[in-house]
Amino acid sequence: MDISNNLNASTLAFDPKVMEQHKNSNSPEALRAAAVQFEAMLTEEMLKSMRSATEVMSEDSLFNRDREQFYQGMYDSQLAFEMANRGTFGVAEQLIRQVAEQQAD
């Protein structure tokens, strides 16, 4: 199942409007949106862990400022969402399959 077309390119990471549109819905689109959001959250946590590991080595770096860290966090959130929306790791696709199987039973 290809999930790459479920959200358009202008969608922001963790956009509450997207989830509000699918609130109380059992549609396949709602399932895809929730699965992509879940994969994005997992991916963002992975990116945060990777970034925090590199920050330890660059404590005295010119780029280790609160402002840069704030914008890097925003970038990581959007990057995680874009990766999830493209199905980079396949977590959302697997969730969709599992939920579809449970609903079929």
Whether 60 maps to a domain, the answer reads yes
pLDDT value of residue 42: 93
Q: Which domain holds residue 84?
A: 16-104
pLDDT value of residue 81: 92
pLDDT value of residue 45: 93
Whether 3 maps to a domain, the answer reads no
Query: Which pTM was predicted?
Result: 0.71
pLDDT value of residue 105: 79
- For the chain, 105 residues long, the average pLDDT of each consecutive 10-residue run is 47 68 80 90 92 72 71 90 92 93 86
Whether 4 maps to a domain, the answer reads no
Whether 61 maps to a domain, the answer reads yes
Whether 38 maps to a domain, the answer reads yes
pLDDT value of residue 46: 94
Spatial distance between the Cα atoms of 35 and 29, rounded to a whole number of angstroms: 10
The count of structural domains within the chain is 1
